[in-house]
Structure 1
Amino acid sequence: MNLKFVFLFNLLLAFSIQCLTAQTFKKDIYYHIVSNSGLALSSQQNAADNSPIRLEKEEKKALEQLWTIEPLGNGRFLISSPLSKKAIDNGNKISAEGNSLLFWAKDQYNSNQHWEIIKNMEGSYLIKDSKNTVLVFTPSENNELAQLPLKSGNANQQWTIKEIKGKFKIPVRIGKENWENETIFGINKLPPHSPYIPFPSIASLEKDSTFRMPWKNTQSAYYQSLNGLWKFNWVRKPSLRPVDFYKTNYDVSNWKEIPVPSNWEMEGYGTPIYTNFTHPFKNDPPFIEPQEGYTNEYETNPVGSYKRHFKIPENWNGKEIFLHFDGAYSAIYVWVNGRQVGYSQGANNGAEFDITKYVKKGDNDISVADYRWCDGSYIEDQDMFRLSGIHRNVYLFATPKLHVRDFFMHTDFEGEDYSHSILRIDASVKNDDKNNTASTLEIYIKNPSGENVLKMQQAVQGIRRGEEQQYTLKGVLSHPALWTAETPNLYTAEFILKDKKGNIMEALSSTFGARKIEFKNRRLYINGKRVFLKGVNRHDIDPKYGKAVPVSSMLKDVLLMKQHNINTIRTSHYPNDPRMYAMYDYFGLYVVAEADLEDHGNQSISFDKNWEAAFVDRNVRNVEEHKNHPSVIFWSMGNESGSGTNFKAVYKAIKAIDNSRFIHYEPYNELADMDSKMYPSVKDMIAEDQNGNDKPFFLCEYAHAMGNAIGNLDEYWDYIENKSQRMIGGCIWDWVDQGINKQGMPADYYYYGGDFGDKPTDYTFCINGITTPDRRVTAKMMQVKKSYQYIKFKQLTRYGHKIEISNKYAFLNLDQFKVQWVLLKDGDAIDSGYVNPGNVAPDGIFELNAPSDISLDRNSEYFLNIYCRLQKENRWANAGYIVAEEQFALSPKVTPSDKGSATSSMHFKMINETAKELRVNGEGFHINFDKRSGLLTSLVYGNKEMIYQHKGPIFNWYRSIDNDQRDSSKMNIHISSFAQHYSKDSGSIVVEEKLDVFLEKQKANYPYAITYTIYPSGTIDVNAKFETGDNYMPPRFGLRMELVPGMENVSWYGRGPFDNYPDRKTAALIGIYKNTVDGMASEHYVHAQSMGEREDVRWLEITDEHHKGIKIISQNHLGFEALHYTDEQLWGAVHDFALGSIRRPQTYLTLDCKQRGLGNASCGPGPLPKYEIPKNTTLSYAFRIEEVKQ
């Protein structure tokens, strides 16, 4: 085969010598591409991704036969259809035998769409794959386009490329309804602005709970919430909706009620649908049409009709009245008192309407028709549960006719000492009155302590009705308290608008922070200090309320993030509820603020000019609504939406509003201000970091946390923080499992894709969080906390008592913390104390001298644990909370003494061997072996049987986690030899077994050997060796046994207290821990899978309520699980809540010799090589079994 490749390559090279050296094609010219037989390549307007490319009889006026050929440089071209807006793609297949070519979303950066076009002397062309120069365009026998190996003399591989002149009108496909027209995404919708609440006076403003904590409920007299119960009607398609329900006399008395905000699927209407990026309707933008086999074949496009009444307060007379929606999926029409107010798309951006002319004194009627899908759904194709309805706050607010409409607060710094900040406020004042009334705008600045430190004033006059004027006010903040995620100091600006008599017309406020963002030397600097972004991606999701996330859940997220050393959140993949940004400011989190834009399922949209305005609108609204939050450091233009030209317009629009922040967009690094990448391995990350690019490098998604995951996180961060050249950090995918409740089922039952009969679905791919749906602290979260911690520790000499403590915070000194040391002897704390680290500045070092006057017993093992705790309570944790920790060995690991050997007073009572069985009896114990299987079938200590139904130690290889292949298989074990002899030296019975395991599905065998050394005391030494082979590599090698019911209490000396694995264990310190077998299954993976592993175990005990049981003592290395389920049963349970129904009374005790690391291969790389099980290797371990007596 290699010779064939060489021959074909040389043949092609010789042919190319005869070709013209350069080809010229213009991207704005149309071409026909015609085969030697006169058939032209043809498209269709609604060509789907992965659909074939047909050859049809050439017709000059056929729009489907028009092609554009865009030069990409380096002799490469992109060939696409202007009709379908799809490109010719090789499907990422470049086999020597060739393959079919297909349509795929046009993407100039997708190398699968790069083609070389070579012209020969006769004027025809070869079109070849740029990644495999022996494969060229060739018609298939069924007149579809393929790429096949170049064959000398094959005329079918020669193509004619004709320039087609004339005017062609490529049809713009727009539906009759606004919700099927990508050019209409708002009617009468007001321009976006920073959120604010107007008040009638300064006193009421400053008294309100929102003054300091804007996420709380306001009591402003000029604000009215429309949250609560609305009358509601749901239909499965638009033709069934109550068309006239908006009329004031329409009778809705028989309608049910629904809470607002909510998702109607969470209230029992329609079907929740989880899909990663496959559109849940026919992929034919901008239309919403049923797709056979999908949920929307029946629920074509559900419509929710909402209706309620409200009253206008008397003190709102003469004011402008606005109706505001914080978010609704996905398109809404609004009526007030029977009159249509407007229309909006953009599910996670605010939609605001001026309803002054629609309302009346007293009782008013509001109606909303909400369409589940619209053309905007094509660019809301995020990896999430697709839920519908008015999912965020709805409210009214009133302003005077002349009012502050918007403001943008800038803090600039001159020089590098940050001793003063120039505060510039751009304030927009709008006049909705027929009179041109003069007034005064006063702005008061309060420092973080609440003291007035600056006043600015501006005369307001000459604004015509319906117009607004922007004023720029400047002042200086001396020695400002700077905002960072570590020091979230917030100033407050009060905007007071007064009439010409000095009376207050309105008062409003906004917090802001003094901070500066820079890229220098390919790094990120905040206020002149280098910062690493230690982040997570977060979706809006609550198990009970869906995307209508309550404030309590928002706060829980923020507090957990702060408590676990997370300093950055990427709002994946849409703006969060406005109240969350106030939390990010207040508690201190950096924010990558992402726009509500993802066309993942049809990325050709990003190249379509018709969609440009929608792309720009969503980004502009994102920026305008969140521009005053100091927590926002980057704008993100969207997610996985291709690299189309629409993003150039987006980038330009963002920079026109805000040039103080940087712009992120992973699929189009050439345009963005930074390089960004998803899910690289550590090796690939290093290569990307060192590629010489001059932009900072960010991992927008990495460490895919699906199920039992987050492997080798330490290795990512060791490189990022200590060795990288231009890295600025990354955000783990993702924060929380997107599991939701079902109507009528218990609140702790969480469901994922497919559980609702939803189609299409990507099943469990939404269960990717480092926390559970109900926000529990998990082993994954604890490892994130450890890997992200800002205080580092180093033992200066092996087993030494001097510990170097480094401050890796960017802005905090170590005097914020107290250092606790704890000395452990054989896992028990024997001494402890506190040390004041002093005022160690960032990047400073403090040396801790641990107690060295304690005499260390050579027969014991010692560890020194170091904990850094908060000195004082802060906004997110109590005093004493641990922010960083480390553990150091002060002595070598101790090999257990030979306590099992015989003494002169001990002897065996009986040794009986038959053809089938070996029995060994002693004082207070007896042991049985089945010689036919090699199993230890009975172990009795003190008249208590330990082994359940004769199931002693047996080969164990299976593990079930999302990152593994999970190929369960029937296991056949053949015993090749069983021998026993008496050892005079140790006075023991030695049983030696050789066995062979065959896995039927994998067609792989694994020889292993076990030696049992039985002492007269009843103690058993077990030594096992396993051959890994060179075939299928199981995820673990070890033994499993079943213990009798009642053996429920577990204690161990090893890593804990939570789950830990070879590449996720540094957060789990070595110590003595206690639990129950039921408690060992505490990780609550929504999709049930292997769990409960504890690594580096010295010993473990499993006992009954009378403290009778067995103790396992490791002779070298050991990991264990003790559960009421096997790994196969866990995977078969499908859901965590099903574990109760499959719980077995016995305990499955797994003793691992070696287990594969977890990695993150559900979407990304597997374990690092050092955490893999090596092939063709002998693995061995040894442990002792002895009785635990009451």
Structure 2
Amino acid sequence: MKSNLKVVAEAFKTRSDNDWENERIFAVNKEEGRSTFVPFADTEEMKGDPSYTRPWIRNQSSRYLLLNGDWKFHWVKQPSERPVDFYKPGYDVSAWKEIPVPSNWEMLGYGTPIYTNITYPIRNNPPFIQGQRGYTVEKEPNAVGSYRREFSLPADWKNKEVFIHFDGVYSAMYLWINGKKVGYSQGANNDAEFNITQYVKPGKNILAVEVYRWSDGSYLEDQDMFRLSGIHRDVYLVATPKLRLRDVHLTSVISDRFDKADLCVKADVKNYGKSAVNASVRIALLDAGGKTLRTFTTAAGNLAAGKEICLPAKASIRDPQLWSAETPYLYTVNLELLDASGKVLEATTQQYGFRKIEIRDNKVYINDALVLFKGANRHDIHPRFGKAVPVESMIEDILLFKRFNLNTIRTSHYPNDPKMYALFDYYGLYVMDEADLECHGNMMLTKRESWKAAFVDRVVRMVERDKNHPSVIFWSMGNESGGGPNFEAAYQAAREIDGRFIHYEGMNDVADMDSRMYPSIESMIAQDNEPRNKPFFLCEYAHAMGNAVGNLEEYWDYIANQSKRMIGGCIWDWVDQGINKPGEAPDRYYFGGSFGDRPNDNDFCCNGLVTPDRRVTPKLWEVKKVYQYMTFEEVGENNVGLRNHYSFLNMRHFNLRYVILKDGVPVAEEEFGLPDGKPGEHRTIHIPYLRHLTEDADYHINLEVKLKHDCVWAKAGHVVATEQFLLRERKQKTEVPELSASLQVVEERQYIRFRAPGTEISFDSKTGMMIGLRYDGQNMIHGQQGPALNWYRSISNDPREWIQPVVALRGFDWKLAEDGKSASVQSQIEVKVGQVNIPYTVRYRVYSNGRVDVAADFTTENNFDLPRLGLQMFLNPSLEQVEWYGRGPMENYRDRKNAAYMGRYKTTVTDMAEHYARAQTMGGRTDTHWLALTDGQGKGLRITATDTLDFSAQHYTDKDLWQVKYGHDLSDIRRAEVVLNLDCIQRGLGNASCGPGPRPHYEIRKDTVYSYSFRMEPLR
């Protein structure tokens, strides 16, 4: 009874003495937000530091001390169990284990990772942290991690101001130095800086941090992600003189003709000393080669003790090099703080790019050029390290963005690690920088006055930190939190700091642009045509969960060529949020529910264009093709039209390579430089391909636009755009086999066997099935499972459930031809799937040379959306080698095949499997003329379509894939035999896991008869 009363009391809790249960307390003794920079003793030291031109590299300033590494660590499941006095110098932590900082403690076996999309992992009773029956928090109410380490204060830091800086902590933290409480912070992805000058001492110091997994801030961190905890970003100390350069704000004014730029600097100087001082700031602007272009100074005058002043300064340059994602030119701005005698007290530096952002006619222009934002959303996640993403992984993501034609990243849904922005600037990406603000599970917080300051703080700290980065084009105030006055206040606060355009999908009226998530193409077009004087952006679309990203081209055909207000969109999302379990192999990826976490949203976190370990998926190849910046068209004989859709790059930066293919095999190629062609211009390129194209083959031309020279993100020769055109189609001929032998017919019980030298083809008259296809003693069919109806697939965008069909034979007959050299067989079968009937007929023509012609008709009903129609057969395990002439090399489907070109490809059945975190249907290939499955000696089976067909060859059935949960468990269900699917038609993929399904023309029509035919013959 007491426990029940406690639950009731908790449910009606109205106040708490805990800072972490008070929405009004989110910062105690914390410094105001500022831009990211590190102080140096002087400019000479600064220029010699490896971070000077590469700010993401570890800093070696004498004024900087990195505290990353192994810390003593103690974990408990709830606050009442924590070691309350652990921060005291006399408290013995020698027996504690160690934990690496940065890290998430759940990734190391402390507590439970929880994946949920909208539902709070705690009871939804803000601002309180309470358990919920059946949830993980019932057993782990609010885990607390106690961190301890020692550090030695450098001797030359005496008489300096000392600050400790945390780049990110989930979700709330207290700080002690040498047993004295310093302060408190919330905001897991905002930085927190504390002045610890009065707490440190010469020599050894003790640093203690107490981290709470949940706080009232967790109500504003309800993002669609794994909920992980701990100090997940860098921790470091900086030392400054008593007169400190506290902040720097860089902006620019560029003339309308772009022949002049003013660098505008606001330098915030603060006097921490006990007396007034005279000070000035000397600023130098350097070009990318290190040449000093301008030096100018601004003076503070007599700055009183404890006071701070903002010093404005400005300098002009002629003909500035402009920054864009295509041409990420960076200047260097060096700042020196000088005392009254001109002595350098400290120095710092910022990389800066000049660029002008404008909205004109409801479109976005950068440096006077129209820009379309071709992007993806990206969560901070690493399969082994969680949210403590290593720099190497950051760079890998950015290089993949660049190499696959994405120019925009939305930092969903929180500010990224500061190092990421230096990388964005350097490599060239447009950024929608998003505040750590999502109350998806309780949108009423947006309207509550008591939460306003917390909303504003999260937006302001983001803007203050990232304001100097040229890559940041838009601010985003948060995600999926509804609308209300708290966002109005956040907008005004951000606008007072910076003039960049502000996005917020949840309240378009307060933002500078309209935004939508997951509209159908029809809905998108309708909104684009609304009479609103704002750009229109898809902040999330093309939900890439599992085998997905259908009809992407049709979105972009409208956005790029027809829209009135659209400026682009960001696919959801970049990387599957699959994580490892401690101690397990690094290629095993888990999602919601895998850890016993409750509540959870299963695999809804696995929506990536790349796998957790950043393997490229076929989805990303499709994105690269659709997002490419060159388009092609056929222009008469031997000519190709090429249009430049880059905003800033000339065609001269690229080479063009063409390859002529005959029946998918290259027969000629050439590469040459492209002519002058400015952005938006069209050029006709002469291609001297073969003039004599025979009628007995298909001829295609493949075109590749390639980088002419190395750049920071790719080597010369990297392909940026591709296309394929059909030059000549094979003239179809009816092939009549030459037969010498006659068929021998053997009837044994229900079996009918057609025999000829080296050939035996068998049928079962009770099932209507072909059960044997034997060539030279080797049966191509495994387990008597010849061609039979395949109606099922299992992907994230479809209803996944397998329904056991009921199969009934409605008719079977056969007839030997008059010449005795061939025979016809017909099976009429009805398959019942639940309440749906799928009648189909298969007609075979069996020849004495082993050839079998197959024709099938499938009839659909009006009450069921079928995912596929075709025949499935099981083949001999020895037939592991696969070759085909059709689209490839990567997996492709009806509405996702733009990147897959006609050609002749080889692989193995094993390698046709894809790496989906959740096991599902995979490996499809479309528009196939023929395929061959052979053993190691080239013996096997060739299948030739009368027109074309789609196929997949796997060691799993679709039912197998439905029954297993994880992609890494496929080895547990792997069959020895080959499962060959020959599809007459398959439904498009669409994006229905969160968004619209396939377009109508990619659906399987109801009340329709579908037919196809193909030939099977031996390869001896």
Q: What range is the shorter-chain TM-score in?
A: over 0.9
Q: Which residue of 1 aligns with 2:4?
A: none
SS in structure 1 at match of 2:58: coil
Question: What is the rounded CA distance, in whole Å, between the counterparts of 2:640 and 2:231 in structure 1?
Answer: 55
What letter matches 1:683 in structure 2? E
Match of 1:901 among 737, 762, 771: 737
Mapping of residues 389-408 of structure 1, within 5 Å: 389-408=230-249
Q: Which residue of 2 aligns with 1:1100?
A: 931
* Contact 1:908/1:920, CA 8 A, preserved across alignment: no
Match of 1:875 among 700, 704, 712: 712
Q: Could you say if the C-alpha distance between residues 985 and 878 of structure 1 is closer, same or farther in structure 2, counting changes exceeding 3 Å? A: farther
Question: What is the rounded CA distance, in whole Å, between the counterparts of 1:723 and 1:861 in structure 2?
Answer: 34
- CA offsets 1:96-136 (integer angstroms, 9 cap, x no match): xxxxxxxxxxxxxxxxxxxxxxxxxxxxxxxxxxxxxxxxx
What letter matches 2:737 in structure 1? S
Q: Which residue of 2 aligns with 1:481?
A: 321
SS in structure 2 at match of 1:619: helix
SS in structure 1 at match of 2:445: helix
Match of 2:554 among 715, 718, 723: 715
Tell me by how many angstroms 1:413 deviates.
1.7
What letter matches 1:1080 in structure 2? M
Match of 2:576 among 732, 737, 746: 737
- CA offsets 1:725-757 (integer angstroms, 9 cap, x no match): 110000000000000000121111000000000
Q: Could you say if the C-alpha distance between residues 1024 and 985 of structure 1 is closer, same or farther in structure 2, counting changes exceeding 3 Å? A: farther
Instruction: Say yes or no: does 1:527 pair with 2:367.
Output: yes
- CA offsets 1:154-173 (integer angstroms, 9 cap, x no match): xxxxxxxxxxxxxxxxx994
SS in structure 2 at match of 1:410: strand
Question: What is the rounded CA distance, in whole Å, between the counterparts of 1:1139 and 1:1025 in structure 2?
Answer: 33
Tell me by how many angstroms 1:900 deviates.
5.1
Instruction: Say yes or no: does 1:451 pair with 2:283.
Output: no
What letter matches 1:425 in structure 2? V
Q: Which residue of 1 aligns with 2:128?
A: 287
Question: What is the rounded CA distance, in whole Å, between the counterparts of 1:642 and 1:1187 in structure 2?
Answer: 63
Instruction: Say yes or no: does 1:302 pair with 2:143.
Output: yes
* Contact 2:927/2:948, CA 8 A, preserved across alignment: yes
Q: Which residue of 2 aligns with 1:672?
A: 511
Tell me by how many angstroms 1:698 deviates.
0.2
Q: Which residue of 2 aligns with 1:1172?
A: 1003
RMSD: 1.5
Match of 2:631 among 783, 787, 792: 792
Mapping of residues 295-334 of structure 1, within 5 Å: 295-334=136-175
Question: What is the rounded CA distance, in whole Å, between the counterparts of 2:846 and 2:362 in structure 1?
Answer: 64
Match of 1:703 among 539, 542, 549: 542
Q: Could you say if the C-alpha distance between residues 641 and 986 of structure 1 is closer, same or farther in structure 2, counting changes exceeding 3 Å? A: farther
Q: Which residue of 1 aligns with 2:385?
A: 545
Q: Which residue of 1 aligns with 2:861?
A: 1029
Tell me by how many angstroms 1:893 deviates.
4.9
Question: What is the rounded CA distance, in whole Å, between the counterparts of 2:689 and 2:104 in structure 1?
Answer: 62
- CA offsets 1:975-1007 (integer angstroms, 9 cap, x no match): 2111222345895211122111111x3x10011
* Contact 1:173/1:286, CA 8 A, preserved across alignment: no
- CA offsets 1:556-582 (integer angstroms, 9 cap, x no match): 100000000000000000000000001
Instruction: Say yes or no: does 1:346 pair with 2:187.
Output: yes
Q: Could you say if the C-alpha distance between residues 172 and 461 of structure 1 is closer, same or farther in structure 2, counting changes exceeding 3 Å? A: farther
Match of 1:1009 among 826, 837, 841: 841
Question: What is the rounded CA distance, in whole Å, between the counterparts of 1:364 and 1:981 in structure 2?
Answer: 95
Q: Could you say if the C-alpha distance between residues 312 and 290 of structure 1 is closer, same or farther in structure 2, counting changes exceeding 3 Å? A: same
Q: Which residue of 2 aligns with 1:1182?
A: 1013
Q: Which runs of 5+ in 2 are unaligned?
A: 1-6
Q: Could you say if the C-alpha distance between residues 635 and 942 of structure 1 is closer, same or farther in structure 2, counting changes exceeding 3 Å? A: same
Q: Which residue of 2 aligns with 1:1159?
A: 990
- CA offsets 1:503-555 (integer angstroms, 9 cap, x no match): 22111100111001111001011111110000000000000000011101111
Tell me by how many angstroms 1:237 deviates.
0.4
Tell me by how many angstroms 1:912 deviates.
2.6
Mapping of residues 2-81 of structure 1, within 5 Å: none
- CA offsets 1:460-508 (integer angstroms, 9 cap, x no match): 3311122111011011121011000010001110001122333221111
Q: Which residue of 2 aligns with 1:1065?
A: 897
Match of 1:927 among 735, 752, 761: 761
Instruction: Say yes or no: does 1:949 pair with 2:762.
Output: no
Q: Which residue of 1 aligns with 2:215?
A: 374
* Contact 2:279/2:302, CA 8 A, preserved across alignment: no
Mapping of residues 183-194 of structure 1, within 5 Å: 183-194=24-35
Tell me by how many angstroms 1:277 deviates.
1.2
Number of equivalences = 1012
SS in structure 2 at match of 1:737: coil
Larger RCO: 1 or 2 (CA < 8 Å, sep 6+): 2
Question: What is the rounded CA distance, in whole Å, between the counterparts of 1:724 and 1:985 in structure 2?
Answer: 65
Question: What is the rounded CA distance, in whole Å, between the counterparts of 1:436 and 1:908 in structure 2?
Answer: 112
Q: Which residue of 1 aligns with 2:447?
A: 607
What letter matches 1:280 in structure 2? P
- CA offsets 1:658-698 (integer angstroms, 9 cap, x no match): 12x10100010111110000000111111111122211100
Match of 2:37 among 176, 180, 196: 196
SS in structure 2 at match of 1:611: helix
* Contact 2:299/2:311, CA 8 A, preserved across alignment: no
* Contact 1:902/1:1016, CA 8 A, preserved across alignment: no
Instruction: Say yes or no: does 1:653 pair with 2:493.
Output: yes
Instruction: Say yes or no: does 1:844 pair with 2:681.
Output: yes
Q: Which residue of 2 aligns with 1:994?
A: 828
* Contact 1:801/1:890, CA 8 A, preserved across alignment: no
Q: Which residue of 2 aligns with 1:168?
A: none
Tell me by how many angstroms 1:435 deviates.
2.5
Match of 1:224 among 43, 65, 69: 65
SS in structure 1 at match of 2:509: coil
Match of 1:1056 among 888, 893, 903: 888
What letter matches 1:1188 in structure 2? L
* Contact 1:902/1:986, CA 8 A, preserved across alignment: no
Tell me by how many angstroms 1:801 deviates.
3.2
Question: What is the rounded CA distance, in whole Å, between the counterparts of 1:559 and 1:505 in structure 2?
Answer: 38
Match of 2:800 among 951, 963, 966: 966
SS in structure 1 at match of 2:927: coil
Tell me by how many angstroms 1:923 deviates.
2.4
* Contact 1:837/1:846, CA 8 A, preserved across alignment: no
Question: What is the rounded CA distance, in whole Å, between the counterparts of 1:591 and 1:173 in structure 2?
Answer: 41
Question: What is the rounded CA distance, in whole Å, between the counterparts of 1:919 and 1:848 in structure 2?
Answer: 59
What letter matches 2:850 in structure 1? G
Match of 2:502 among 648, 663, 667: 663
Instruction: Say yes or no: does 1:758 pair with 2:597.
Output: yes
Tell me by how many angstroms 1:202 deviates.
1.3
Q: Could you say if the C-alpha distance between residues 675 and 440 of structure 1 is closer, same or farther in structure 2, counting changes exceeding 3 Å? A: same
TM-score under structure 1 normalisation?
A: 0.84
Question: What is the rounded CA distance, in whole Å, between the counterparts of 1:771 and 1:865 in structure 2?
Answer: 26
Q: Which moved more, 1:838-847 or 1:856-865?
A: 838-847
Question: What is the rounded CA distance, in whole Å, between the counterparts of 1:442 and 1:1046 in structure 2?
Answer: 75
Q: Which residue of 2 aligns with 1:828?
A: 665
Question: What is the rounded CA distance, in whole Å, between the counterparts of 1:379 and 1:1033 in structure 2?
Answer: 40
Q: Which residue of 2 aligns with 1:414?
A: 255
Instruction: Give 1 or 2 for the bigger CA radius of gyration.
Output: 1
* Contact 2:267/2:281, CA 8 A, preserved across alignment: no
Tell me by how many angstroms 1:836 deviates.
1.9
Q: Which residue of 1 aligns with 2:483?
A: 643
Q: Which moved more, 1:848-857 or 1:1164-1173?
A: 848-857
SS in structure 1 at match of 2:294: strand
Question: What is the rounded CA distance, in whole Å, between the counterparts of 2:699 and 2:382 in structure 1?
Answer: 45
Question: What is the rounded CA distance, in whole Å, between the counterparts of 1:929 and 1:811 in structure 2?
Answer: 65
* Contact 2:661/2:668, CA 8 A, preserved across alignment: yes
Q: Which runs of 5+ in 1 are unaligned?
A: 1-46, 49-83, 85-170
TM-score under structure 2 normalisation?
A: 0.98
